Amino acid sequence: MSTPVRINKYLSEIGYCSRREADKMIDQGRVVVNGEVIEMGLKVTSKDIIFVDGERIKERKTKAVYIAFNKPVGIVCTTDTRVEKDNIIDYINYPSRIFPIGRLDKPSEGLIFLTNDGDIVNKILRARNHHEKEYVVTVNRPVTDEFVRQMAAGVPILDTVTRPCKVTQTHKKEFKIILTQGLNRQIRRMCEFLDYRVVSLKRIRIMNVNLDVGKGKWRNLTSDEIAEINKMVKTSTKTVD
């Protein structure tokens, strides 16, 4: 890569980590370029000498990896294996470097993608692309018609109102919800606003991929699934270089 690009994009495109994770590492002072700890926004080329956590980072051509993983409760969606003992990377122990697309909270379970394709990570994570994610949620008391109506219409959390979504009661204390945005702890915060407490939360679908492997297991996405995802994110705007 001879044209200078921002360091977060560079690390993403060579399959080292997502841009979001790169920004976090830069902010923590863990990225060194040409012997200097860098600040956000630095541009680099393949000729620059880059270290992350003391490891030399080299541009490499690797086969794209796309994994669907059924995350158990208690596993943390981070690539920082130094900090979290029960992190998703050590748990899966994949033979090459991969990173999660988005996250599931430690108390939550279910479907999450992992990949080494930084470009598709950036596209999927952009909330304005309205990609669907479906969850099954159990709460601490009976679900009412009013609760379903309010959840579906939008709830004020985090200085905004959640985007209208699909909510369906499935059992006395259980419902399904389909979101097209990804605010921090969104479902839990929505329920809390309405005086409900989440007992269990499982993601069962992301876009066109359903959860179909056992807890703690993973599989490669099929070529058809990958093709459909690429089609769905084709119009997604990339982040600024």
Report pLDDT digits (tens) over 96-142: 888 898 889 999 999 999 998 877 877 777 756 689 999 999 999 99
**What would be the CATH architecture of the domain defined by 132-206?**
2-Layer Sandwich (3.30)
Closest CA relative to residue 155, chosen from 123, 188, 127: 188
Closest CA relative to residue 156, chosen from 192, 127, 201: 192
Are 75 and 92 contacting, i.e. CB atoms less than 8 angstroms apart?
no
Angle of helix 223-232 versus helix 118-125 axis, rounded to 10: 50
Are 107 and 73 contacting, i.e. CB atoms less than 8 angstroms apart?
yes
Give the C-alpha separation, 84 to 100, whole Å: 15
105 catalytic per annotation: yes
With a CB cutoff of 8 Å and minimum separation 6, the contacts of 128 are: none
Enumerate the CATH 3.30.70.1560 domain ranges in the chain, comma separated: 132-206
Closest CA relative to residue 87, chosen from 69, 105, 70, 75: 75
Give the C-alpha separation, 208 to 32, whole Å: 39
Residue type, 136: V
Cα–chain center distance at 182:
9
The parts of the chain modelled with pLDDT lower than 70 are 1-2, 59-62, 83-84, 127-129, 235-241
**What would be the CATH architecture of the domain defined by 5-57?**
Roll (3.10)
Are 137 and 191 contacting, i.e. CB atoms less than 8 angstroms apart?
yes
Enumerate the CATH 3.30.70.580 domain ranges in the chain, comma separated: 66-126+211-232
Structure tokens belonging to residue 205: 């679908």
What does the pLDDT read at residue 85? Answer: 79
The three state secondary structure string of 118-167 is HHHHHHHHCHHHCCCEEEEEEECCCCCHHHHHHHHHCCEECCEECCCCEE
What does the pLDDT read at residue 90? Answer: 92
Strands 5-6 and 43-44: antiparallel
Kindly report the CATH class assigned to 66-126+211-232: alpha beta
Q: What is the pTM of this model?
A: 0.76
Say which of 86, 90, 105, 117 is annotated catalytic.
105
Enumerate the CATH 3.10.290.10 domain ranges in the chain, comma separated: 5-57
* Separation in Å, CA 238 to CA 18, 125, 126: 13, 10, 9
Length of the chain (residues): 241
Give the C-alpha separation, 175 to 96, whole Å: 37
